[in-house]
């Protein structure tokens, strides 16, 4: 791990995923405890509420990413120790990319500037997969349905490529109040390449008190509108994925090389 200079500000970009303290990394808890200032989206700050008592806390509404990133950098530039909290992993649709973009524009130097550390967390794709079986045992793609920063026609091309390539596909941000056609269009693309009965997992609020999990199919995935939102992840199986007693299983390929079930030798008396 990179050594941390004591004479200048520190900025930790912290992944607090998946949303339950039992699964938060030791390093994440450690840097939050060390920090004087906590900055983040109000929902994510709420996930670590009991760890930040007595600290200086700045809570932001959604879509204020640039403001909170600049504020966190500003505090660190003044010599303070700051944690910018991000859900899941800050390097996967998280805040660390924006932090480095801003620092690059400011001419930041890793050796002489503020100390910056990305503290990885458990991403939604990891935590959700763990809840529904073993859907990510082979190559997979991850696509966000959010077209606020990426044009929808580009997202369509990425979904098409994932479907054509037979990737298991993890879908972030599948729906919102304004985003209503995206998942329907995505389903239509997958139906061009996958059987309608291909398993699909819908996971809402993984490892939070509101957690809901449904295993369905591509054909019926839109019948669960009440679960679709910004804290929901959808996992679409590929041509090999199957449903076994409510679990998505994606074969790793061992069957082609090994006999999977073997008799256990009798223990000697």
Tokens of 8: 């200048």
Model confidence at 253: pLDDT above 80? no
Q: How many CB atoms lie within 10 A of CB 126?
A: 18
Helix, strand, or coil (residue 266): coil
Mean pLDDT of 80-97: 95
Residues 6+ apart with CB under 8 A from 218: 187, 190, 191, 194, 195, 196, 197, 198, 200, 236
Q: How high is the pLDDT of residue 267?
A: 56
Mean pLDDT of 2-17: 80
Question: What's the CATH number of domain 10-122, 3.30.565.10, 3.40.47.10, 3.40.1010.10, 3.40.50.1370?
Answer: 3.40.1010.10
Helix, strand, or coil (residue 233): strand
Q: Which of 221, 245, 241 is nearest to 233 (CA)?
A: 221
Q: Where are the domains of the chain?
A: 10-122, 125-254
Question: What's the CATH number of domain 125-254, 3.40.1390.30, 3.30.950.10, 3.20.10.10, 3.30.1490.100?
Answer: 3.30.950.10
Rg of the chain's alpha carbons, rounded to an integer?
A: 21
Q: Are 170 and 142 in contact (CB under 8 A)?
A: yes
| DSSP strand pairing (168-172 vs 199-204) | unpaired
Tokens of 138: 């082979």
Mean pLDDT of 125-130: 97
* CA separation, residue 83 to residues 54, 73, 76, 104, 118 (Å): 14, 10, 9, 19, 10
Q: How high is the pLDDT of residue 256?
A: 56
**What are the tens digits of pLDDT across the range 61-86?**
888 999 999 999 999 999 999 999 99
**What are the tens digits of pLDDT across the range 42-53?**
988 988 998 999
């Amino acid at each position: 791990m990179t050594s941390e200079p004591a004479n200048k500000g520190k900025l930790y970009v912290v992944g607090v995923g998946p949303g339950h303290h039992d699964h938060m990394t030791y390093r994440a808890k450690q840097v939050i405890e060390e920090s004087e200032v906590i900055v983040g989206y109000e929902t994510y700050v709420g996930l670590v509420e009991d760890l930040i008592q007595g600290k200086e806390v700045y809570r932001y509404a959604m879509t204020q990413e640039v403001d909170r990133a600049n504020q966190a950098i500003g505090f660190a530039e003044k010599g303070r120790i700051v944690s910018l909290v991000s859900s899941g992993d800050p390097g996967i649709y998280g805040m660390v990319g924006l932090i480095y973009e801003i620092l690059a524009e400011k001419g930041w130097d890793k050796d002489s500037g503020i100390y910056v550390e990305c503290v990885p967390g458990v991403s939604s794709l990891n935590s959700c997969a763990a809840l529904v079986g073993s859907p990510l045992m082979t190559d997979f793609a991850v696509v966000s349905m959010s077209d606020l920063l990426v044009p929808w026609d580009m997202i369509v091309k990425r979904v098409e490529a994932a479907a054509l390539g037979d990737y298991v596909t993890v879908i972030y941000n599948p729906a919102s109040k304004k985003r209503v056609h995206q998942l329907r269009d995505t389903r239509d693309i997958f139906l061009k390449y996958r059987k309608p009965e291909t398993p699909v997992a819908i996971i809402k609020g993984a490892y939070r008190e509101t957690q809901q999990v449904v295993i369905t199919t591509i054909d019926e995935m839109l019948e669960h509108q009440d679960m679709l939102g910004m804290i929901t992840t959808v996992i679409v199986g590929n041509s090999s994925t199957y449903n076994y007693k409510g679990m998505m299983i994606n074969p790793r390929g061992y069957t082609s090389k090994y006999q999977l079930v073997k008799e256990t030798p009798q223990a000697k008396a």
